[in-house]
């Protein structure tokens, strides 16, 4: 099913805007019509040459610069079976970029006085959950609600949550927070899901219908859809992934968490121009859209990706130039919008060929078109750094294995060929250059300055990973040893979660703990330190055990995912 724009309303709106949009959309399928002799066309062609044309999946990209479409590239096919070529009006699944539209709907309702940031979630959902009484709309927008990530929970449940009602029931079943609302961050799908339901309750109509009639139509989007099941129009790109040298259809997941918004490069440029105009007409809405997510104490969401805004976009500085961006990735689709507001530059890039990330095409295009506007060089000049003279022994003193509890990552710091290195895997390493006492500059492609700083806290060595002005990512050292058999065996047994009726049987295999559920899924975990194991899968990357008074037998464990803490599994007697 496709939920499309009402034809009469769309025609009325398009008539009003025709004089403006016809000038640059009337010939969108011809790339040459958008070439500007003052722009580096050959260089831009080279940027997009990585994606070849022909009867394979491809790309739809539009670059906006100084009041007009400056360049576009439409290559490949939206459907290999039918041979349908990709055009500027072809709709792609935009993944997490859809979250931005949800946030806009909420913020627009707030701007119109129909909602308040401080309203509780239960004011609109009216569930029996005491937890939802204490969570505010602001917490959902800031991803500081403390609710379990329903997408993670769904994987643990091994169920098919196919209706909104079934998802709400699982949220209501949550008995305790992952953290006190407003005291920590954890980006998750539950927050966006509940925002959608609040839009429904306020508008008293289905979320999809509201978005089409009050957001997509209003903005003049004519190729933006909600697709509930599969692909049912030739104007929508099917996604593919390259397997054994052949492009195969990606599987469309049936659950309610699968992104269902499809849009075209043409529509997304139209949307950006609409946002720009709305920001001028509605200063309060513009303020809401660009408010940086923060905790109750004012601490801002400041990750290496940038500062997350209420509009679910990241705000940062690319080579010293203010930037707004958001990206999406879903089962063979990749989408990105990069915007440099001070330069009137926008890059929209959509692909259906299985790549995980399309953003660098837009960024490389920006480097070609507005390169002289960036304040910082495109790469760090490592040769100009003043380095400390460290002996081999001093370098070795930093060696070790480190654990990032929030990101659930293991990293090795080791000396290779007389150089200290940050080791992600044996074929993915970065040299660390000593620039100050206990501080190293990472050699990494691109313009970002990444530092690794070591320090001691008590008897334990710790390490901070610092990207520009983002908050440090803390790691602490662990021994990375294989524990004695008895240490592992004390965890063997059956464990059960009472909230959701989930069970795991834990066994020891090859010096690891293996978690087995009733559906036959097996997750393997390695020892970090007593009480903490890592491995598993994306939805349960680490687990933390609790022990009896004698400290000789495990009595239960908690899932240690940042988006789902405190989900406790008690050991059966």
> Which residues have a Cβ under 8 Å from the Cβ of 52 and sit 6 or more positions away?
58, 75, 76
Residue 38 has what pLDDT?
74
**435 DSSP 8-state letter:** E
237/349 same-domain check: yes
pLDDT digits (tens, 9 = 90+) for 243-258: 988 999 886 665 677 7
In a domain, 177, yes or no: yes
The number of folded domains in the chain is: 4
| Burial of 351 (C-beta count, 10 Å sphere; 0-12/13-18/19+) | buried
Residue 254 has what pLDDT?
57
227/87 same-domain check: yes
Cα–Cα distance, 91 to 352 (Å, whole number)? 10
Residue 227 has what pLDDT?
81
| Burial of 58 (C-beta count, 10 Å sphere; 0-12/13-18/19+) | buried
Q: What is the DSSP string of 134-193?
A: H-BHHHHHHT-S----HHHHHHHHT----SHHHHHHHHHT--S-SS-TTS-----HHHHH
Domain hosting 328: range is: 2-95+222-373
In a domain, 209, yes or no: no
230/361 same-domain check: yes
Cα–Cα distance, 9 to 342 (Å, whole number)? 34
Query: Facing residues of 336 across strands?
Result: 327, 349
58/86 same-domain check: yes
Residue 159 has what pLDDT?
80
In a domain, 213, yes or no: no
**294 DSSP 8-state letter:** B
Cα–Cα distance, 211 to 226 (Å, whole number)? 9
246/362 same-domain check: yes
CATH number, position 536: 2.40.128.50
87/136 same-domain check: no
In a domain, 186, yes or no: yes
Q: Token pair of 481, please?
A: 């040893």
In a domain, 249, yes or no: yes
In our burial notation (b when 16+ CB lie closer than 10 A, e otherwise), range 188-219 reads bbbbbbbbbbbbbebbeeebbebbbbbbbbeb
Domain boundary pick from 373, 403, 423 = 373
Q: Residue 558 in contact with residue 568, Cβ under 8 Å?
A: yes
557/496 same-domain check: yes
Residue 232 has what pLDDT?
57
pTM: 0.91
395/474 same-domain check: yes
CB atoms within 10 A of CB 220: 21
CATH number, position 438: 2.40.128
Q: What share of the chain is helix, strand, coil (3-state, %, to 5)?
A: 30, 35, 40
In a domain, 206, yes or no: no
CATH number, position 303: 3.40.710.10
Cα–Cα distance, 40 to 46 (Å, whole number)? 10
In a domain, 138, yes or no: yes
Cα–Cα distance, 88 to 75 (Å, whole number)? 10
Domain boundary pick from 443, 478, 513 = 478
Cα–Cα distance, 325 to 314 (Å, whole number)? 5
399/474 same-domain check: yes
Instruction: Give the closest residue to 288 by CA, choosing from 425, 157, 165, 137.
Output: 137
- Calculate the CA dihedral of residues 366, 369, 372, 374 and round it to 10 degrees: -10
- Calculate the CA dihedral of residues 16, 19, 22, 24 and round it to 10 degrees: -120
Q: Residue 65 in contact with residue 345, Cβ under 8 Å?
A: yes
Residue 562 has what pLDDT?
81
Q: Residue 488 in contact with residue 511, Cβ under 8 Å?
A: yes
pLDDT digits (tens, 9 = 90+) for 507-542: 999 999 999 998 888 999 999 999 999 999 999 999
Q: Residue 129 in contact with residue 174, Cβ under 8 Å?
A: yes
237/332 same-domain check: yes
Cα–Cα distance, 90 to 71 (Å, whole number)? 17
**How many Cα atoms sit within 13 Å of 135 on the Cβ side?**
34
- When computed from its CA atoms, the radius of gyration of the chain, rounded to whole angstroms, is 25
235/180 same-domain check: no
Enumerate residue ranges in the chain where pLDDT < 50: 1-35
509/426 same-domain check: no
């Amino acid at each position: 099913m496709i939920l499309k724009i009402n034809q009469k309303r769309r025609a009325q709106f398009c008539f009003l805007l025709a004089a403006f949009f016809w000038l640059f959309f009337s010939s969108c399928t011809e790339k040459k019509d958008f070439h500007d002799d003052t722009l580096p066309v050959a260089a831009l062609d080279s940027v997009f040459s990585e994606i070849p044309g022909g009867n394979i999946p491809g790309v739809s990209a539009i670059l906006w610069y100084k009041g007009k479409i400056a360049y576009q590239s439409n290559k490949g096919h939206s459907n290999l079976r039918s041979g349908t070529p990709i055009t500027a009006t072809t709709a792609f699944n935009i993944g997490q970029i859809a979250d931005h539209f949800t946030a806009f709907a909420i913020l627009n309702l707030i701007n119109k006085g129909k909602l308040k940031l401080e309203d509780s979630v239960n004011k609109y959902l009216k569930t029996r959950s005491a937890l939802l009484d204490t969570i505010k709309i602001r917490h959902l927008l800031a991803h500081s609600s403390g609710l379990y990530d329903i997408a993670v929970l769904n994987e643990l449940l091994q169920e098919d949550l196919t209706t909104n009602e079934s998802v709400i029931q699982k949220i209501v079943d949550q008995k305790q927070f992952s953290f006190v609302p407003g005291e920590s961050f954890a980006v998750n799908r539950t927050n966006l899901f509940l925002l959608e339901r609040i839009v429904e309750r306020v508008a008293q109509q289905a979320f999809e219908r509201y978005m089409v009639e009050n957001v997509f139509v209003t903005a003049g989007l004519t190729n933006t859809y909600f697709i509930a099941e599969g692909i049912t129009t030739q104007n929508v790109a099917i996604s593919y992934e390259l397997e054994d040298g052949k492009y195969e259809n990606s599987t469309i997941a049936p659950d309610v968490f699968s992104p269902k918004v499809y849009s075209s490069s043409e529509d997304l440029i139209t949307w950006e121009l609409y946002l720009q105009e709305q920001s001028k007409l509605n200063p309060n809405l513009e303020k809401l859209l660009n408010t940086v997510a923060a905790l109750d104490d004012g601490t801002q969401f400041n990750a290496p990706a940038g500062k997350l805004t209420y509009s679910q976009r990241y705000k940062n500085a690319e080579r010293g130039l203010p930037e707004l961006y958001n990206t999406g990735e879903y089962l063979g689709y990749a989408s990105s919008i990069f915007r440099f507001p001070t330069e009137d530059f926008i890059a929209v890039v959509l692909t259906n060929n299985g790549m995980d990330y399309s953003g660098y095409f837009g960024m490389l295009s920006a480097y070609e078109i507005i390169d002289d506007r960036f304040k910082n060089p495109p790469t760090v000049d490592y040769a100009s750094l003043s380095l400390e003279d460290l002996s081999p022994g001093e370098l070795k003193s930093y060696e070790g294995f480190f654990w990032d509890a929030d990101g659930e990552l293991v990293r090795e710091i080791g000396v290779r060929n007389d150089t200290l290195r940050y080791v992600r895997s044996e074929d993915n390493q970065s040299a660390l250059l000593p620039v100050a006492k206990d501080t190293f500059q990472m050699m990494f492609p691109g313009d970002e300055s990444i530092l690794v700083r070591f320090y001691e806290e008590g008897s334990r060595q710790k390490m901070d990973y610092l990207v520009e002005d983002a908050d440090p990512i803390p790691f602490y050292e662990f021994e990375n040893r294989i524990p004695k058999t008895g240490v592992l065996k004390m965890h063997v047994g059956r464990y059960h979660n009472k909230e959701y009726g989930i069970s795991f049987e834990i066994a020891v295999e090859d010096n690891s703990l293996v978690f087995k559920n009733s559906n036959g899924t097996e997750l393997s975990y390695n020892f970090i330190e007593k009480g903490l194991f890592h491995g598993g899968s994306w939805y349960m990357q680490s687990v933390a055990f609790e022990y009896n008074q004698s400290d000789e037998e495990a009595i239960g464990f908690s899932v240690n995912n940042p988006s789902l803490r405190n989900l406790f599994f008690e050991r059966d007697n």
